[in-house]
Homo-oligomer: A and B are copies of this chain.
Amino acid sequence: MTEHYLEDFAVGQTFASGRLRVDAERIKDFAAEFDPQPFHLDEQAAQDTVFGGLAASGWHTATLTMRLLVESDFRPADGILGAGFDEFRWPRPVRPGDELHLESEILAVRPSKSRPAQGLVKVRTTTFNQNREPVQILVANLFVPRRPA
């Protein structure tokens, strides 16, 4: 697949992803390793929490988003390298059986002042569930190389 340099990106471009289904076992395994809180670990314990049932860790949503993004057509030449985030939130939880997909849109493209061989691309990635409800909104600034002369 073609890799993209700074000059290939333009404001308004969009990128879609494949789909990824999350089941209860994986939600609990992820939580046991990285976010061992009752509402991510056990259906029964989750009933009496603010989630009212088992919910994926927000960090699980974030890492599944990264997986979908890496496998999408969004392909900066040196890889997906985050310089920082302008926005990052989880408007609703991911539930067992949810199927996620992404829509990414380029919001800004600019050369770097300090590094002439590089630029920055600002991209908003929205992660949707199968009902087209957003479960994560992430606005990231990424380092992207300029096309070699």
Which residues of A come within 8 Å of B, CB atoms?
33-39, 49-50, 57-59, 62-64, 66-67, 70-71, 78-85, 87-90, 143
Q: Give the secondary structure class of A's interface.
A: mixed
Chain B residues with CB below 8 A from A143, complex form? 50
Contact of A34 among B37, B64, B88, B89 (CB under 8 A): B64
**CB of A7, distance to nearest CB on chain B (Å):** 19
**CB of A9, distance to nearest CB on chain B (Å):** 18
Contact of A89 among B39, B63, B80, B83 (CB under 8 A): B83
Contact of A37 among B39, B49, B63, B80 (CB under 8 A): B80
User: Complex Cα distance A34/B65, Å?
Assistant: 8
User: Complex Cα distance A67/B40, Å?
Assistant: 13
User: Complex Cα distance A83/B90, Å?
Assistant: 8
Select from chain B the residue with minimum beta-carbon distance to A83. Answer: B89
- Further contacts, 4 of them, CB under 8 A, given A34-B64, A38-B79, A83-B89: A35-B63, A35-B66, A50-B81, A59-B66
A89 and B79 contact, CB distance less than 8 A: no
